[in-house]
Structure 1
Amino acid sequence: MAHIIVVGNEKGGAGKSTVSMHLATALVRMGHRVSALDLDLRQRTFGRYVENRREFLAEAELDLPSPDLCELPEITADALRPGENMYDHRLSAAVAGLESSSDFILIDCPGSHTRLSQVAHSLADTLITPLNDSFIDFDLLAHTDASAEKITGPSVYSEMVWNARQLRAQAGLSPIDWIVVRNRLGAQRMVNKEKMQRAVGNLSKRIGFRVAPGFNERVIFRELFPRGLTLLDLLDIGVKQLNISNIAARQELRELVKALNLPNVSADF
């Protein structure tokens, strides 16, 4: 059975597609078979990222390890069972078709609540939720008082993850390993950054997720997207020497992969 990784939250701009692409590419470079699905059927940022990679590598005549991007199958109404949702069927059919040929299936969710995203969360063996280091994004997980020190209640997204966990438990499946990734961190030590660290740490104990380090804010990530490249590809495309920022970013990726604790995966790349 393939291990299903879902990258999701309900807010755009948190770095879901960047995390998805770098994680998928890192796993392929380590020799794992990785299939990828983009459930944002309108924006398709992750899908565009992989397609940009295909086009760049073909034009440059390069052969670099890449995830296998797959599309949700089209189905007809007569293929549905009575009361079955079309999106449920499309996603379950896609996953069923990929399981035998994949070690990992990575699913990138849209930055909003959709039926596809809801179903994907219930399929997750590992759920990764990138979070900008801001209380605007923290509100995705839980609500706080004006001091940002006291948690007053869960958010709708946390409740959706809770429901997904309940569905998996009822089906006799293993619990979701939920990891919140603090992303786009600033280099400076600031009061807000320390408050966020305390708030995320306290909430992790209350609703049951792990906290992992993500990526600092770096220009390089914006520059890589048009060519579909990742930090791991720079030396392969002719960059003779990585600068300090690139070396630090690669180390951040290693730390993230290590923290995820995926089956049969090390951070040796």
Structure 2
Amino acid sequence: MAHIIVVGNEKGGAGKSTVSMHIATALARLGHRVQTLDLDLRQRSLGRYLDNRKAHLAEIGLELPSPLHTELPNIDKETLNPNENANDRRLSEAVARLEDNCDFILIDCPGSHTRLAQVAHSLADTLVTPLNDSFIDFDLLGRIDADGDKVLGPSVYSEMVWSARQIRAQAGLKPIDWVVLRNRLGAQQMVNKMKIERALDKLSKRIGFRVAPGFSERVVFRELFPRGLTLLDLRDVGVKQLNISNVAARQELRDLLKALKLPNVEVTF
């Protein structure tokens, strides 16, 4: 059965879709069969990213390893059981159709609390939570004192993950491997940055997640989206000499894939 990766965070702007696209495409380039689902039914950032990729590669006549994207199926409401949620059925049917025919299913969640996102978290074998380096984002994970030095307790998103863990435990499934990415990092070593690092370390021991490096803030990510490309595609589309920023970003992606410790994945790029 496929290993399910869920990329989730109940706050927009943390880079979820960029992280999702790079993980999914990197796995495809490493020879794995990857399917993606986008649960942001309104904005569809990941879905649009993959649409852009398909259109751009067709335009330039190039084939590159890519994940396959699946839309949630439509459901006849008359087939629902009493009190069954239609979106629950849509997600469960999509996963059931995919899980025997691929190695990984990557699910990109919206930047808000929705029923679909809640259910998806309970399906996660690996949960990836990108987090901007700010206490505004940290507040979704844990409450902190006014000085930013003492963690007072878990917050709303952590409590939702805890509920998902309980659901999996009751179903006899293996625990979620929860990985929090410090994403969109600035280059400077600021006092605030060090405080967040200490706070994450304390909270990780308290509620059970691993901290991994994400991506630094780079202009290249904004340039890749319209063409549906990732860092690993640049040489294939004619970039002969990568600049220092692109080389560093590829190393960050390599470090991220290694940190996730996904089954049967050997990072060779």
Measure how far apart 1:153 and its partner are.
Answer: 2.1
Match of 2:61 in 1: 61
1:87-236 alignment runs, 5 A limit: 87-236=87-236
1:76-100 Cα distance to aligned partner (Å, 9 max, x none): 1122122211111000000000011
- The list of structure 1 runs, each at least 4 consecutive aligned residues, that deviate by more than 6 angstroms after superposition, is none
Letter in 1 for 2:67: P
1:36-70 Cα distance to aligned partner (Å, 9 max, x none): 00000001111100000000001011101111010
Measure how far apart 1:151 and its partner are.
Answer: 1.2
Letter in 1 for 2:229: L
- How far apart, CA to CA, are the structure 1 residues paired with 2:151 and 2:189? 23
- How far apart, CA to CA, are the structure 2 residues paired with 1:91 and 1:207? 27
Match of 1:246 in 2: 246
- How far apart, CA to CA, are the structure 1 residues paired with 2:266 and 2:246? 21
- How far apart, CA to CA, are the structure 1 residues paired with 2:200 and 2:267? 25
Number of corresponding residues: 269
> Alpha carbon RMSD of aligned pairs, Å?
0.6
**Quick check: 1:4 aligned with 2:4?**
yes
Letter in 1 for 2:194: E
Measure how far apart 1:171 and its partner are.
Answer: 0.2
Secondary structure of residue in 2 paired with 1:140: helix
TM-score, length basis structure 2:
0.99
1:215-265 Cα distance to aligned partner (Å, 9 max, x none): 001000000000000000000000001011000000000000000000000
Measure how far apart 1:268 and its partner are.
Answer: 1.0
- How far apart, CA to CA, are the structure 2 residues paired with 1:152 and 1:191? 20
Secondary structure of residue in 1 paired with 2:43: coil
Secondary structure of residue in 2 paired with 1:82: coil
TM-score, length basis structure 1:
0.99
- How far apart, CA to CA, are the structure 1 residues paired with 2:267 and 2:180? 19
Match of 2:70 in 1: 70
- How far apart, CA to CA, are the structure 2 residues paired with 1:6 and 1:52? 22
Percentage of identical aligned residues: 75
- Segments of 5+ residues of structure 2 without an aligned counterpart are none
